[in-house]
């Protein structure tokens, strides 16, 4: 069961977190925050930097060949498979 929490953070921190999330392929700031918590609590990210780099490379190839439109479309498709 998942529990929802609410937090208050400065706008500058929220903006930086949103930018980081977008630039590093997280589907949302919530996914980014959960990943940070996993790394801090369990010392193991859900996806390694190497795996993320491989997905980015795949996205680039797919985008250049028109297989999924663009990187955003590919990440949407990958998220649905979970």
> Does the model's pTM come out above 0.75?
no
Same domain? 82 vs 52? yes
Mean pLDDT of the chain: 81
Q: Per residue, what are the HEC states of the chain?
A: CCCCCCCCCCHHHHHHHHHHHHHCCCCCHHHHHHHHHHHHHHCCCCCCHHHHHHHHHHHHHHHHCCCCCCHHHHHHHHHHCC
Does residue 1 lie within any of the structural domains?
no
The mean pLDDT value for 17-42 works out to: 87
* Number of compact structural domains in the chain: 2
Determine the structural domain holding residue 73 and report its residue range.
47-82
């Amino acid at each position: 069961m998942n529990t929802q929490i609410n937090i208050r953070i400065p706008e500058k921190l929220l903006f930086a977190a949103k930018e980081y999330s977008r630039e590093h392929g997280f589907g949302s700031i919530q996914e980014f925050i959960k990943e940070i918590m996993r790394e801090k609590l369990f010392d193991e990210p859900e996806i390694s930097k190497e795996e993320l780099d491989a997905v980015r490379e795949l996205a680039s190839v797919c985008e250049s060949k028109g297989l999924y439109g663009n990187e955003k479309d590919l990440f949407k498709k990958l998220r649905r498979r979970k």
